[in-house]
Each structure stands twice: as structure tokens, then as C-alpha cells.
């Protein structure tokens, strides 16, 4: 699973739904709630993709802690332009220093450090990894993460269970902070599932996000299946987004509002 795939996957599964402001019977308040979720989701998706660099090079052949640490050197072969990242290893700690890295994330320039500490997990093919950023900027805007992950690698799947904080800036300039507890399962057949929750601050508003299970049964760009519930931290308003593998999804509010909206993706089984 490449870093580019992780980034694009996160944007699809965590948000980027494209709510039509003119569609459905949702109130303006409900639409704003979903927009807050979508705008803040980009910060979590991109932050997780960058923090996930060390996990992208772990395979079933990465058996020991020494193997996992040694594998980190290959990340320099992935990032673009060549030479934009330097790697320093101190025991089980690896420090990546990025200077003008623009790939493979798309229209994003990354500068700053990621410090990674790897430890053995509870069994074969498992690792505990602590990630922390220092002086990180995305397109010149400050960003940070301080997370821990339990990683399990089998012949069938790679599972990454994250706990921690991701901070950044939404496209409209609002500051975003995620306190997240999420699990991402990358199956070898190409399917992916995401579950968990995040307590979000975006600007002056707060959002609670609960992902019961969101599944992508197909390559990147395939429409997701599952449900996401978004609720205000203050008040009783919540919106449940239901995805059924088509390029439409349904939004229902706790106050009886309902809308059906377009989703930019390829339907499951489609071309």
C-alpha cells in the first residue's frame, strides 16, 4: 500500500463527500455541520497519510524490529523530488526531515520532521509505533500530529489502529484539531475498511464523528459502503450519512431532515 494510495483513500473514506448546498431537505444548520466534517476530514486524511509513511514499507517479510527499522530507508525512494528527505536512525528511532517534498501526495508541499519510534508488538508481524512531528508545514501552513499506532501485518491484511491528535488548517483557513481513535484495515485483495471516532474542533465549532464501519470494496475511486454519524458537541443535532456503494448517498438528521446527494466515485461493480 503506497503513500499515494493511503492519501487518496483517506480523502475518500474520511470525507470529501461533496454535499450539494441546494439539494435535499436538510436545514442550513445541518448542511453546515456536514461541511464542517468534510472540511476537517482533509486534515485528518492528509495527516494520517504523512504519519503513515513508516507503515507503508512494512510487509510480511518485515519480521523483526531490526527489519522494520532498516525498511525505513526505502521511504527516500518514494518521496519526490529525489533528495527531498533525509533519514537519520538512532537505535529504534528514525527521524525523517522533509524539505519541499511534493509527492506522492498530489498538490501538497511538505516541510519539517517526522520522528518515529518503533517497538515490537505483542506477536509475530506486529509493531507498536509512536509518531510525532516537529516544525511540520503543509503548503506553508503549520500542521502537527502526535499519535501512536498498533500495526499488524498478515498475509490477508495490514491493520493500523491509530490513537492521537492531528492538527492543521482547513481549505478555508479554519484551524482544525482531531483527537482520533481509528482503525484502518488494508486487505490484500484491494478492499479497505475504516472504523472509529474523532472529536473535532474546527474554527469555533465542535464536531463528533463516529464511523461504524466504512468499506471500499474495490480499487481507489470505488464508492464506499457504510455509515458515518456527525454530531455537534453542543446541542442535539446529528446527521447520519449512509453510503451504499453507489455514487449517491443519503443524509438523515436527528430532526427529521433528509437529502440524497451525489458522490464522485465509481459504483461498486462499475467501470
Closest by CA to 96, choosing from 63, 120, 131, is 131
User: Residue 191 in contact with residue 214, Cβ under 8 Å?
Assistant: no
pLDDT of residue 107: 74
For residue 125, CA distances in Å to 55, 108, 121, 143, 252 come to 12, 32, 8, 31, 41
* In a domain? residue 269: no
The tens digit of pLDDT for each residue in 73-98 reads 999 988 889 999 999 999 999 999 99
Share of the chain above pLDDT 90, in %: 56
The Cβ-side half-sphere exposure at 151, using a 13 Å CA radius, reads 30
Give pTM, 2 decimals: 0.86
* In a domain? residue 69: yes
* In a domain? residue 119: yes
The Cβ-side half-sphere exposure at 84, using a 13 Å CA radius, reads 18
* In a domain? residue 270: no
Per-residue pLDDT, averaged over 141-170, amounts to 94
* In a domain? residue 27: yes
Residues 62, 53, 187, 197, CA torsion sign:
positive
The tens digit of pLDDT for each residue in 209-233 reads 999 989 999 887 889 999 999 999 9
pLDDT tier, 24 (very low <50, low <70, confident <90, very high otherwise): low
Q: What long-range pairs does 63-72 form, CB within 8 A, spacing at least 24? A: 63/124, 63/125, 64/120, 65/92, 65/118, 65/119, 65/120, 65/127, 68/118, 68/127, 69/94, 69/118, 72/96, 72/116
Share of the chain above pLDDT 70, in %: 90
Q: Reply yes or no on whether the pLDDT at 9 is more than 60.
A: no
Q: Which of 36-50, 70-84, 156-170, 182-196 has the lowest mean pLDDT?
A: 36-50
Which residue segment(s) compose the domain that 91 sits in?
Answer: 3-262
* In a domain? residue 254: yes
* In a domain? residue 268: no
Q: Which of 39-43, 80-84, 114-118, 162-166 has the lowest mean pLDDT?
A: 39-43
* In a domain? residue 267: no
- Please state the domain count of the chain: 1
Specify the DSSP class assigned to residue 27: -
The tens digit of pLDDT for each residue in 127-153 reads 999 999 999 999 899 999 999 999 999
Please state, rounded to an integer, the average pLDDT across all residues of the chain: 87
Q: Reply yes or no on whether the pLDDT at 171 is more than 70.
A: yes
Per-residue pLDDT, averaged over 5-12, amounts to 45
Amino acid at each position: 500500500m503506497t503513500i499515494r494510495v493511503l492519501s487518496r483513500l483517506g480523502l475518500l473514506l474520511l470525507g470529501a463527500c461533496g454535499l450539494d448546498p441546494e439539494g435535499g431537505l436538510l436545514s442550513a444548520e445541518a448542511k453546515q455541520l456536514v461541511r464542517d466534517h468534510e472540511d476537517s476530514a482533509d486534515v485528518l486524511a492528509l495527516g494520517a497519510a504523512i504519519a503513515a509513511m513508516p507503515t507503508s514499507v512494512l510487509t510480511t517479510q518485515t519480521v523483526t524490529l531490526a527489519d522494520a527499522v532498516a525498511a525505513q530507508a526505502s521511504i527516500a525512494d518514494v518521496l519526490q523530488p529525489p533528495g527531498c528527505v533525509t533519514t537519520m536512525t538512532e537505535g529504534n528511532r528514525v527521524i525523517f526531515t522533509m524539505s519541499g517534498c511534493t509527492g506522492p501526495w498530489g498538490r501538497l508541499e511538505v516541510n519539517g520532521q517526522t520522528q518515529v519510534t518503533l517497538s515490537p508488538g505483542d506477536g509475530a508481524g506486529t509493531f507498536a509505533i509512536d509518531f510525532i512531528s516537529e516544525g511540520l508545514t503543509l503548503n506553508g501552513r503549520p500542521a502537527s500530529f502526535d499519535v501512536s499506532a498498533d500495526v499488524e501485518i498478515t498475509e490477508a491484511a495490514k491493520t493500523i489502529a491509530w490513537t492521537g491528535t492531528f492538527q492543521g488548517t482547513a481549505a478555508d483557513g479554519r484551524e482544525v484539531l482531531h483527537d482520533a481513535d481509528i482503525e484502518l484495515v488494508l486487505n490484500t485483495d484491494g478492499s479497505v475498511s475504516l472504523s472509529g471516532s474523532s472529536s473535532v474542533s474546527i474554527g469555533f465549532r465542535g464536531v463528533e464523528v463516529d464511523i461504524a464501519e466504512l468499506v471500499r470494496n474495490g480499487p481507489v475511486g470505488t464508492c464506499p459502503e457504510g455509515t458515518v454519524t456527525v454530531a455537534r458537541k453542543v446541542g442535539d443535532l446529528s446527521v447520519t450519512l449512509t453510503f451504499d456503494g453507489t455514487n449517491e448517498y443519503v443524509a438523515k438528521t436527528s430532526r427529521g431532515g433528509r437529502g440524497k446527494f451525489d458522490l464522485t466515485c465509481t459504483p461498486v461493480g462499475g467501470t
